[in-house]
C-alpha cells in the first residue's frame, strides 16, 4: 500500500501543477480580455465624442497589447486617414496586407482601406488598380464600383464611369448623387462637339435620350447641334421638349428659341404666344423679359412698358425693373432722363452681382450653369436662382 502511495505522489503533483497553470492561464486570459475590451470601449468613446487624437492614442496602445487584431489595424488606419495623415494610414494598411494570416474577408477589407488611402492621397492609378481587383469579389463589389465611379469622374473618363453606373444599377445599387449614364454620355457628346465631330456627338446624344428620356441636358445639346447644322425646325422641337423634361431649365431655352424663330422667319405672333404661355404657366422671369423685348420690336416701347408694369406687379425683381427703366428711357421726357439713367445703372449693378444659379444641395452659387456642382459633386442640383 505504501508503494502505491509513493507512486501516486508524482501524479498528484503533476495534476496540481496543471490545475494551477490552467487556473492562472484562465485568470490571465480573462484579465487580458477585460483589459482589451476596456481599451476598445475607451477608443470608441473618444470617437463618439469626436476626440480623434485621444482615440488614436487608445488604439495605438491597444495594438501594442494585441498586435494580432486585424480590425484594430483597420480602425487605426482609418483614423489617420480622417485626420489627413495619409502616409501613416497607408503604412498601417500596407503592413496589414503583407501578413499571411488573414482570411479572405480580412484581406479584402484591408485592400479596400488601402485603396481608399490611395484615393485620398490622389494616387488614382494605385487606387484604381486595387478597386478593379476587388470588383471580382462579391463582398467588395459594390463598394469598389462606387470608388471607381468617383475616380473616373475625377479623371473625366466618362465611358468608364458609364460602365460603373450601369453595373451598380444592375446590382440594384443606383448611385446616390445623380451619376446617370445619360450625363456621362452628354459629357462625351460635349467633348466631340468641341472637336467638331457632329456625327459622333449625335450618336452619344441619341443614346443618352434612349437611356433617360427625361434628360433635359441631352435635349439642349441636341438643339445646339441642330442649330449648328442649320436644322432650326428640329432644334425647336428639341428645345420645346425641355419643358416636359425639367421645367427648372426653361430659361435656358429662351435665347435659342428666339434665334430659331428668327432664322426660320416664323410669324412674330408664334414666338410671342409661346413666350406668353411660358410666363403665364411657370412665372419664368426670363420668358417675361424676352416677351417684353419682342413686344417692343413688334408693337413699340409703350406696349412693352405696359407689359413690364404687369410683370412687376406680380414679380418685382431688380432685373425686371432694370428692363422697365430701359424702356422708359426710350419714352421718357428729357426732365426725367438723368434720373432714369442713374436708376438704370444702379439696378444693372445690383443684378450683375447677383448669382444666376444656386446648388439646391449645398448652396454653391455662381454665374454659369454647372451640370455637376463644383462643391458637393452632385449632378443636376444647380438651378436658376
What pLDDT does 147 receive?
96
pLDDT tens sequence across 145-177: 999 999 999 999 999 999 999 999 999 998 878
Cell of 338: 438723368
Q: Which CATH architecture has domain 275-354?
A: Alpha Horseshoe (1.25)
Q: Which helix H or strand E contains 383, and what residues bound it?
A: strand 382-384
Select from 46, 117, 43 the least CA-distant residue to 81. Answer: 117
Alpha-carbon span 344 to 295, nearest angstrom: 20
Q: Which helix H or strand E contains 144, and what residues bound it?
A: helix 141-154
Residues composing the chain: 385
Alpha-carbon span 291 to 268, nearest angstrom: 11
Mark the ranges of the chain whose per-residue pLDDT is less than 50: 1-41, 43-49, 63-67
Domains of the chain, by residue range, sit at: 38-96+105-122, 275-354, 356-385
What pLDDT does 327 receive?
80
In the block, cell 436708376 appears at 343
In CATH terms, are 38-96+105-122 and 275-354 the same topology? yes
Give how far the C-alpha of residue 74 lies from the chain's centroid of Cα atoms, to the nearest Å.
27
Rg from Cα positions in the chain? 34
Q: 117 with 81: CB under 8 angstroms?
A: yes
pTM of the model: 0.75
Q: 293 with 312: CB under 8 angstroms?
A: no
The answer regarding whether domain 38-96+105-122 maps to CATH 3.40.1210.10 reads no
pLDDT tens sequence across 133-146: 999 998 999 999 99
Cell of 254: 429662351
Alpha-carbon span 285 to 117, nearest angstrom: 48
Phi, psi of 264 (to 5 degrees): -80, -10
What pLDDT does 339 receive?
63
What pLDDT does 40 receive?
46
Amino acid at each position: 500500500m505504501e508503494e502505491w502511495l509513493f507512486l501516486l505522489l508524482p501524479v498528484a503533483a503533476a495534476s496540481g501543477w496543471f490545475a494551477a497553470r490552467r487556473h492562472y492561464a484562465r485568470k490571465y486570459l480573462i484579465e487580458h480580455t477585460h483589459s482589451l475590451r476596456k481599451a476598445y470601449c475607451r477608443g470608441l468613446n473618444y470617437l463618439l465624442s469626436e476626440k480623434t487624437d485621444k482615440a488614436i492614442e487608445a488604439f495605438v496602445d491597444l495594438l501594442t497589447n494585441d498586435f494580432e487584431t486585424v480590425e484594430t489595424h483597420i480602425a487605426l488606419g482609418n483614423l489617420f486617414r480622417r485626420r489627413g495623415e495619409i502616409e501613416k494610414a497607408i503604412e498601417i494598411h500596407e503592413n496589414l496586407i503583407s501578413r499571411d494570416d488573414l482570411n479572405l474577408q480580412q484581406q479584402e477589407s484591408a485592400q479596400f482601406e488601402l485603396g481608399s488611402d490611395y484615393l485620398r492621397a490622389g494616387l488614382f492609378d494605385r487606387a484604381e488598380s486595387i478597386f478593379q481587383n476587388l470588383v471580382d469579389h462579391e463582398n467588395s463589389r459594390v463598394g469598389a464600383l462606387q470608388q471607381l465611379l468617383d475616380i473616373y469622374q475625377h479623371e473625366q473618363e466618362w465611358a468608364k464611369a458609364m460602365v460603373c453606373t450601369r453595373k451598380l444599377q444592375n446590382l440594384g445599387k443606383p448611385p446616390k448623387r445623380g451619376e446617370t449614364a445619360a450625363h456621362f454620355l452628354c459629357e462625351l457628346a460635349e467633348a466631340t462637339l468641341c472637336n467638331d465631330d457632329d456625327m459622333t456627338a449625335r450618336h452619344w446624344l441619341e443614346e443618352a435620350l434612349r437611356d433617360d428620356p427625361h434628360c433635359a441636358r441631352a435635349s439642349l445639346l441636341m438643339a445646339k447641334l441642330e442649330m449648328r447644322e442649320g436644322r432650326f425646325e428640329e432644334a425647336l422641337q428639341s428645345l420645346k421638349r425641355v419643358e416636359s423634361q425639367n421645367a427648372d431649365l426653361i430659361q435656358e431655352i429662351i435665347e435659342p428659341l428666339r434665334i430659331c424663330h428668327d432664322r426660320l422667319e416664323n410669324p412674330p405672333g408664334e414666338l410671342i404666344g409661346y413666350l406668353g404661355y411660358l410666363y403665364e404657366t411657370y412665372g419664368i422671369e426670363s420668358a417675361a423679359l424676352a416677351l417684353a423685348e419682342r413686344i417692343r420690336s413688334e408693337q413699340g416701347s409703350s406696349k412693352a412698358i405696359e407689359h413690364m408694369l404687369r410683370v412687376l406687379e406680380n414679380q418685382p425683381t431688380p432685373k425686371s425693373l432694370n428692363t422697365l427703366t430701359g424702356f422708359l428711357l426710350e419714352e421718357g421726357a428729357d426732365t426725367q432722363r438723368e434720373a432714369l439713367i442713374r436708376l438704370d445703372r444702379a439696378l444693372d449693378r445690383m443684378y450683375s452681382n447677383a448669382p444666376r444659379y444656386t446648388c439646391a444641395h449645398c448652396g454653391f452659387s455662381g454665374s454659369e450653369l454647372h451640370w455637376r456642382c463644383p462643391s458637393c459633386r452632385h449632378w443636376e442640383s444647380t438651378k436658376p436662382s
